Structure 1
């Protein structure tokens, strides 16, 4: 039975696979081979056709070369390689764009996600759900990081009305039709369940294993996580890319802070000699003007058109189907932003 399932999966993946496992990789050269062996062992046993799509986000440590060697051995594996590091959201977008499966499973390449959770996600999809979201309930992270993540997830769930406990967990499964039309930017990969919910998706979540990091270094960024709030503004009010929203939002916040500082100075001058009267104080005009500028910048952030410039593909690496391991097909990426 297992042999038949492997044969079926291998044959069907050369056409249109049912499941696309999209693995995000950035400078994970030591993790690539052990992760691939573990991943294929799990996928070979699920009894459905699949492909594994590695998205190399501009690695500079030899990860892309290792991935190319893997793709040379197996026609079910393809590698999309970026020209430089565009970030995890761009990698998720490329996974949506280049995958072929009806069900998309997103997976981190650092070995902290557990491949053995994938069948459980697919079981939920078989039950009729459109999204199965992984929840790292026992997270392998510091207490401070876990606490900040819990607070952020609570805020996001409250603001979006989407009952997901772990927006930041990469390990999620989606039916293609509920996310195919999205254009992601900034930190919007975390908000894929929100997009899916707006498309009418049935969403469930289940606890998944989160393993301690064995190889490499964490790419976690507190600054990137904090930008999710601006992403929420973009999604709920703009419906577009947050990149200009970031710049305009920071400028608006700066203007408001300067206005507040000017207001404080005006108040102090009113009670401290020589007791400058408000109507004669030019700082009042400056404070009001800065506040108005802040409002205008904020409104501009809400009305600016979205950008679709998210990533540039250097090459797509794949072995032609029905051939013995040998020369790979390397399709050069167009020098245009997607």
Structure 2
């Protein structure tokens, strides 16, 4: 890799059960990047496919050359883990991502790169304005989810689910993805850069021609749960003690006020308070307050321990092409040194 090439590109594509799409995908991508005049590489992450995708990927990598790198998971870990593995392996100053189903056109990547650099953005998100999917199973749930995400997080985008994106590597590598957080990448990016450095642009979208979709209506409900987690980490990820502590202090204050009132009733008015529901509610609030305050301290300790430990190593990869032997594809098919 040439250190001075700020437009060197890594294209990351996660695939799962996409054997039929492998060959046409790589053909279209090489055609689309044929005139790209900077060094680029392609990182294909097989998320534990069992339909022959792995074999097809390694065959295509051998056909096109060392700039095509393949990472194989031991089993299916999910799209988020696949994308994180691709980001970890990427060596370019820019990173582009798209799905392996050919519903997005790889030929649009150079245009997105030019727009990202012209608008001086850290992330350019694709917007499938004319989406070619079923209304009830894909489009309607997606619109509802996009609206909720934009309203809760404050990151105003039309299409969070579009995998066609271009990032600055220095920004996306600051983020660790886990669970099923790939659909919230713009939200996580907003945690390490200014929201105005996140933009979107319209991209084309095709109906799936080969293979079967891995998405369904059930994913909408998972989005709601993931949204709660994303909101928490966005607002309190570095200071979880403030979240739990605020609840604990509120419960404690309310319980203390109730107990003060009951103490005046007991000792000032001489009335019995042992069978009053308010007495048990006050006790419950005070106990909950102690639990939340203790949780806040433990959360702060865990957060600081995690930050001090650095990045964790992932052990889900079982096979990949040799990064040391991987080249860079540049104009006229010439390959530069990998280092």
Tell me how far apart the structure 2 counterparts of residues 64 and 234 of structure 1 sit (CA, whole Å).
37
Residue 280 (structure 1) shift: 9.7
1:212 correspondence with 2:210:
no
Query: What is the correspondence of 1:186-225 to structure 2 with a 5 Å cutoff?
Result: 186-201=179-194, 202-220=197-215, 221-225=219-223
Tell me how large the CA RMSD over aligned residues is.
Answer: 3.6
Say whether the 8 Å CA contact 1:12–1:50 is kept in structure 2. Answer: no
Larger radius of gyration: 2
Which of 123, 130, 134 is the equivalent residue of 1:131?
A: 123
Residue 17 (structure 1) shift: 7.7
Residue 60 (structure 1) shift: 0.7
TM-score, normalised by the number of residues in structure 1: 0.70
Query: What is the correspondence of 1:122-161 to structure 2 with a 5 Å cutoff?
Result: 122-127=113-118, 128-144=120-136, 145-161=138-154
Residue 212 (structure 1) shift: 0.7
The number of residue pairs the alignment matches comes to: 275
- 5+ residue gaps, structure 2: 239-274, 307-311, 328-339
CA distance 1:125–1:162, shift in 2 (3 Å): same
- 5+ residue gaps, structure 1: 1-10, 241-278, 323-338
Say whether the 8 Å CA contact 1:164–1:205 is kept in structure 2. Answer: yes
Which of 156, 161, 178 is the equivalent residue of 1:168?
A: 161
Tell me how far apart the structure 1 counterparts of residues 44 and 147 of structure 2 sit (CA, whole Å).
31
Partner of 1:226: 224
Say whether the 8 Å CA contact 2:145–2:220 is kept in structure 1. Answer: no
Residue 230 (structure 1) shift: 2.6
- SS of match in other structure, 2:98: strand
1:108 correspondence with 2:106:
no
- SS of match in other structure, 1:210: coil
- SS of match in other structure, 1:118: helix
Tell me how far apart the structure 1 counterparts of residues 40 and 16 of structure 2 sit (CA, whole Å).
23
Say whether the 8 Å CA contact 2:191–2:234 is kept in structure 1. Answer: no
Tell me how far apart the structure 1 counterparts of residues 79 and 121 of structure 2 sit (CA, whole Å).
25
Tell me how far apart the structure 2 counterparts of residues 311 and 155 of structure 1 sit (CA, whole Å).
34
Say whether the 8 Å CA contact 2:71–2:320 is kept in structure 1. Answer: yes
CA distance 1:159–1:31, shift in 2 (3 Å): same
Tell me how far apart the structure 1 counterparts of residues 6 and 60 of structure 2 sit (CA, whole Å).
20
Partner of 1:49: 39
Residue 311 (structure 1) shift: 5.6
TM-score, normalised by the number of residues in structure 2: 0.70
Partner of 2:56: 66
Segments ≥4 residues shifted beyond 4 Å = 299-302, 304-311
Residue 234 (structure 1) shift: 3.7
